[in-house]
Amino acid sequence: MALANNDAEPEQVDPSSVQEPESHSTQVLMLGALGVVYGDIGTSPIYAFREALHASDGVVGRGEVLGVLSLIVWALTIIVTIKYVIFVLRADNKGEGGTLSLMALARSSYPAGSKLILVIGLCGASLFFGDSVITPAISVLSAVEGLEVVTPAFDSYVVPITLVILAMLFAVQRFGTGKVAAVFGPVMAVWFVCLGVSGLYHLMDDPSVLLAVNPYYAFAYLVHTPEGAFVTVGAVFLAVTGAEALYVDLGHFGRRPIVLTWLSIVFPCLLLNYFGQGAFVISNGGKPHNPFFQMLPEWSLVPMVLLATAATVIASQAVISGAFSLTRQAVQLNLLPRIEVQHTSEMQSGQIYMPRVNLLIALAVMILVVGFEDSSSLASAYGISVTGEMLMTTILLFIVMRYMWNWTLAPALALTVLFAVIDVGFFSANVVKVLEGGWVSISVACVMGLIMATWIRGSRYLFDKTRRNEVPLDFLAANLLKKKPKLVPGTAVFLTSDPLSAPTALMHSLKHYKVLHEQNVILSVVTAPQPIVPDNERVKMENINDLFMRVKLTFGYMEQPNIPRALAICRKQGWKFDIMTTSFFLSRRSLKASPNSGMPLWQDKLFIGLARTAADATEYFQIPTGRVVEIGTQVAI
């Protein structure tokens, strides 16, 4: 039974009433952001420059090195600094970020394009799931490959070691990130210091690489080697993967710490390391095939491999946690069926664990590692999902700039075109890698998109069909008041997604038991287009007559619904709610595929399969199991 209602009118929330993250000093938040937000982009130097050079056929000379470096410098500047840090981070939805948050913001600011915006948001969310599968695989695999630099004897052990690390990573997810988050920041701080120091040391090998800050070298490289450059651009994009994490984790740290951390620590250290790798390659005749590890002193190889492995695990953790958060948002927005959510922190509601999602991602990641065996092969699969997601963000950002920030068309369009040209360029460069591994990203995104589209379509069709067969609630309540059946003490709460029609559970109760409780509540749960709803706007009550009352509970898409706790708020509005004298009636629908459905038969069966996997409503809404009565019905769709 789908209890979330996407068609509900958006609730207006006073910004001052929205809960804010716990207040911490800027320095502490910056350290936390360093560990969680920048883990992914911070590990890109391990493979980004290497893959960009490998994409250049032939001898790697000074011109190729300066051209690749210039492309990386300006990609980091335009995509991360200008697009995300300056503009996208300002598009927060009551302090929360991410693709679905931006989608909700765009839909509320431009209702006329709601359906199209929903499609764009679904595409972005689907692509993020592809990213969450590939990131742990390529990150951990590329770090463990550093063992090959220590000694070729480790070559055959790279994949098994990677699988063991990944198994441990996914196994500890159930304990929650809070118990290990304390070491994330310090470890990444050490990592970025090592990046900067090693890069600065080798920068002295050939300081002329600093000329790469001139965009001329990037344009010259693209013009003089158009065919090779097209492939190189796809590899250069690896340097900015993880930029989307700045926006996804906005609600955890706030804009100021994320911006300060980027400008003062992450950006400078990344640039120093890339320049150092470039100088090292030039000074060694363009021969190094893994410059990140090869430019390290021999004594530091093993410690750096261990540190790199820790950093990539942290980067993977951020993406996995992001997948949990995105999935919960999708469930709350009724884009996916209910999925079990376990809260791992009593203090932070955002720290959650989803066993089913964790298992699916773990299996997919390990299959990728075994199938591709090395990070270079996986790099081809990496770019499509991230570039596609960034392009969706650009489109949604334009809608927000135009209709929420009330920008005039010229500046909004100019900025969007600038970002879109770069996004499309990167996306095009990665699309050519479809056969080399890009099909993985596309497959994951298509599967997730199909699942969400099927759930949306099936839920709406089921709602419409059920509504046609139901009796208007006001009509039934008036008749029952005139001719009362036998009344029994207590309160009955009937959960429904359509508060205007008599719930199926109520009709079956009257038909079979021929009794009615003294007080009957028709309860609907809706999701607001903002992440958090304050308690003073949580409950709306309406008395129908002496026997019936209509109650609507509103939760933000970042909140876990708790019906008993929300109903306790009703005491302030005059309803003396007592959980011990209340029974909750739920309809458990048994769905059957029908050839006369409004959907193809295969999609009917897919929707039914998804509905069967939905988490139990009693647990999802946190209703005491001893107070629940389930009444089964069969529906052909």
Please determine, for residue 118, whether its predicted confidence score (pLDDT) is greater than 80. Answer: yes
Please determine, for residue 346, whether its predicted confidence score (pLDDT) is greater than 60. Answer: no
- Average pLDDT of the residues in 308-312: 83
Average pLDDT, the chain: 83
Digit-coded pLDDT (tens) for 544-567: 888 899 999 998 877 878 888 888
- Average pLDDT of the residues in 417-430: 90
Task: In whole angstroms, give the CA distance from residue 218 to residue 208.
Answer: 15
Angstrom CA distances, 586 to 21, 93, 381, 475, 616, stand at 35, 33, 44, 21, 11
Query: Which pLDDT value is given to residue 343?
Result: 67
Digit-coded pLDDT (tens) for 50-67: 888 877 665 678 888 999
Query: Which pLDDT value is given to residue 345?
Result: 59
DSSP code of residue 588: E
Query: Within 10 Å of residue 400's Cβ, how many Cβ atoms?
Result: 22
DSSP code of residue 76: I
Digit-coded pLDDT (tens) for 119-150: 999 999 898 888 888 888 887 887 788 777 66
Query: Which pLDDT value is given to residue 215?
Result: 92
Please determine, for residue 199, whether its predicted confidence score (pLDDT) is greater than 50. Answer: yes
Please determine, for residue 116, whether its predicted confidence score (pLDDT) is greater than 90. Answer: yes
Query: Which pLDDT value is given to residue 79?
Result: 94
Distant-in-sequence, close-in-space partners of 20: CB < 8 Å, separation ≥ 6: 95
Angstrom CA distances, 353 to 15, 340, 589, stand at 29, 9, 27
Which of the residue ranges 161-165, 173-177, 239-243, 454-458 would you say has the lowest mean pLDDT? 173-177
pTM of the model: 0.77
Query: Which pLDDT value is given to residue 513?
Result: 80
* Among candidate residues 291, 264, 260, 293, the one with its CA nearest the CA of residue 278: 291
Distant-in-sequence, close-in-space partners of 591: CB < 8 Å, separation ≥ 6: 462, 607, 608, 611, 612, 634, 635, 636, 637
Query: Which pLDDT value is given to residue 7?
Result: 36
4 contacts 497 by C-beta, under 8 angstroms: yes
Please determine, for residue 276, whether its predicted confidence score (pLDDT) is greater than 80. Answer: yes
Please determine, for residue 300, whether its predicted confidence score (pLDDT) is greater than 60. Answer: yes
Please determine, for residue 21, whether its predicted confidence score (pLDDT) is greater than 60. Answer: no
Query: Which pLDDT value is given to residue 465?
Result: 77
With 0-12 CB in 10 A as exposed, 13-18 as middle and 19+ as buried, what is 542?
Answer: exposed
Looking at the chain, the whole-number percentage of residues with pLDDT higher than 90 is 26
Query: Which pLDDT value is given to residue 608?
Result: 87
539 contacts 551 by C-beta, under 8 angstroms: yes
Token pair listed for 124: 């972005």
- Average pLDDT of the residues in 205-226: 89
Query: Within 10 Å of residue 169's Cβ, how many Cβ atoms?
Result: 19
Query: Which pLDDT value is given to residue 19?
Result: 39
Digit-coded pLDDT (tens) for 477-513: 888 888 888 888 888 999 988 888 888 888 888 888 8
**Assign residue 275 a region: left if phi > 0, alpha if psi is -120 to 50, beta otherwise?**
alpha
- Average pLDDT of the residues in 595-601: 75
pLDDT band at 385 (very low <50, low <70, confident <90, very high): confident
Please determine, for residue 24, whether its predicted confidence score (pLDDT) is greater than 60. Answer: no
**Assign residue 348 a region: left if phi > 0, alpha if psi is -120 to 50, beta otherwise?**
beta
Digit-coded pLDDT (tens) for 67-94: 999 999 999 999 999 999 999 998 887 7
- Average pLDDT of the residues in 578-607: 80
Query: Which pLDDT value is given to residue 13?
Result: 35
- Average pLDDT of the residues in 303-326: 82
Phi/psi at 574 (5° precision): 105, -10
The residue written with tokens 């883990």 in the block is 39
Digit-coded pLDDT (tens) for 514-527: 888 888 999 999 88
Please determine, for residue 632, whether its predicted confidence score (pLDDT) is greater than 60. Answer: yes
Task: In whole angstroms, give the CA distance from residue 617 to residue 586.
Answer: 8
* Among candidate residues 506, 500, 499, 497, the one with its CA nearest the CA of residue 459: 497
Please determine, for residue 1, whether its predicted confidence score (pLDDT) is greater than 60. Answer: no
